[in-house]
């Protein structure tokens, strides 16, 4: 996602300032809509978090002293970390293969990543519900290799499986972007100096690919924090993630203040991590060799 934003950053205006001013008017309708349906709602949520049910920071002190609320935040971060790690382990070899195959094979590998990317989240989560259910295909396969039926749906494992599949494109694409920019002659040079291929790969290629790892990992991690549909349908209600808790507080318990406070915390964590993404991307650009 961030890669997308980077690519599309607008060109700096070449025009004199006087002409530039009037063009700004065309921004107004979009900005007005954004103000009413994005900024006002966010403000309203923050406002409720400090006024509902009583003015003050009660909801925040509740959040940071309640075992349940804190456990939810920690669980969300932990699931995000596991999802990020699994995604990275699956994506790194895949993205690497994309850089060494023929154009034709690369198109197919890219298509396999992009097709699920554009398939509705609801549809994919539903598919995992079907696959992971007690009598589902995964358990049938496990049965044929002699492993008893496992409880997959309504567990954290199910959530991780579903979220990993949904988020993999966000890891593969930045990894591929960075890897394809690495000069392969550096590997040959290392081997020419006597390094074994594995050593050359680990000490030359892997360090050069780290900016891609950083950008992909942070994007996956941040996106995973806001997930609602997948954990709600694949996870268990008593191991809810923060989005589910926010939903329950507001929609089920009508505890607007608490839901709002959780929302503000989630937003704050997201923004801090986004700052990190910006840092990683700037770091990527300043590294001459990688482009």
Partner 1 sequence: MRAGPARIALWAFSVLVGFWLIAPTLVVIPLSFTDKASLVFPPTGWSGRWYTNFFTDPRWSEALLSSLQVGALVAVVATVLGTAAAIALTRSGSRWAKSSYGLLLAPMIVPTVVVAIGVYALFLQYGLLGTLLGFVTAHTVLALPFVIIPVTASLRGFDRRLEDAALICGASRWGAIRQVTLPQIAPGVVSGALFAFVTSFDEVVVSLFIQSPYLQTLPVMMFASVTRDTDPTIAAAATLIIVLTTVLVLAATFATSRRNRVR
- How far apart CA 240 and CA 220 sit, in angstroms, is 19
CA distance linking residue 46 with residue 173, whole number of Å = 35
Q: Is residue 197 involved in binding partner 1 (CB under 8 A)?
A: yes
Query: Using the rule CB under 8 A, which residue among 159, 182, 217, 266 binds partner 1?
Result: 266
Span interacting with partner 1, options 78-86, 111-119, 209-217, 280-288, rule CB under 8 A? 111-119
127 binds partner 1 (CB under 8 A): yes
In the region spanning residues 50 to 89, those forming contacts with partner 1, defined by CB under 8 A, are none
Closest separation in Å from C-beta 246 to partner 1: 5
For position 25 contacting partner 1 by CB under 8 A, the verdict is yes
Q: Within positions 137 to 176, which residues make up the interface with partner 1, using CB under 8 A?
A: 137, 165, 168
Kindly tell me which of 201 and 288 has the beta carbon lying closer to partner 1. 201
The answer to whether 129 contacts partner 1 (rule: CB under 8 A) is: yes
Q: Contacting partner 1 (CB under 8 A), which of 50, 90, 157, 195? A: 90
Binding test (CB under 8 A) with partner 1, winner from 250, 255, 280, 281: 250
Q: Nearer to partner 1 by C-beta: 58 or 226?
A: 226
43-51, 57-65, 67-75, 142-150 -> range binding partner 1 (CB under 8 A): 43-51
Rule CB under 8 A: is residue 23 a binding residue for partner 1? Answer: yes
**Contact status: 263 vs partner 1 (CB under 8 A):** yes
């Amino acid at each position: 996602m961030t890669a997308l934003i980077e690519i599309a950053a607008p060109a700096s205006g070449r025009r004199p300032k006087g002409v530039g001013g009037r063009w700004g008017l065309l921004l107004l309708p979009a900005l007005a809509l954004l103000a009413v349906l994005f900024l006002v709602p966010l403000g309203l949520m923050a406002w409720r978090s400090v006024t509902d049910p009583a003015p003050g920071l009660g909801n925040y002190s509740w959040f940071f002293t309640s075992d349940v609320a804190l456990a939810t935040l920690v669980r969300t971060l932990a699931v995000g970390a596991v999802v990020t790690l699994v995604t990275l382990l699956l994506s790194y070899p895949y993205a690497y293969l994309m850089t060494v195959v023929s154009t034709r094979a690369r198109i197919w590998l890219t298509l396999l990543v992009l097709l699920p990317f554009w398939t509705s989240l609801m549809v994919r989560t539903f598919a995992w519900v079907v696959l992971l259910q007690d009598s589902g295909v995964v358990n049938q396969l496990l049965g044929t290799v002699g492993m008893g039926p496992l409880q997959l749906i309504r567990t954290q494992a199910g959530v991780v499986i579903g979220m990993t599949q949904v988020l993999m494109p966000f890891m593969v694409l930045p990894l591929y972007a960075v890897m394809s920019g690495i000069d392969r002659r550096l590997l040959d040079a290392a081997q020419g100096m006597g390094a074994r291929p594995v050593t050359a790969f680990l000490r030359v290629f892997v360090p050069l690919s780290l900016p891609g790892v950083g950008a992909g990992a942070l994007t996956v991690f941040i996106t995973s924090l806001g997930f609602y549909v997948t954990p709600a349908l694949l996870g268990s209600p008593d191991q809810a993630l923060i989005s589910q808790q926010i939903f329950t507080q507001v929609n089920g318990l009508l505890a607007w203040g608490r839901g709002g406070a959780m929302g503000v915390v989630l937003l704050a964590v997201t923004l801090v991590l986004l700052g990190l993404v910006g840092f990683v991307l700037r770091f990527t650009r300043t590294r001459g060799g990688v482009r």
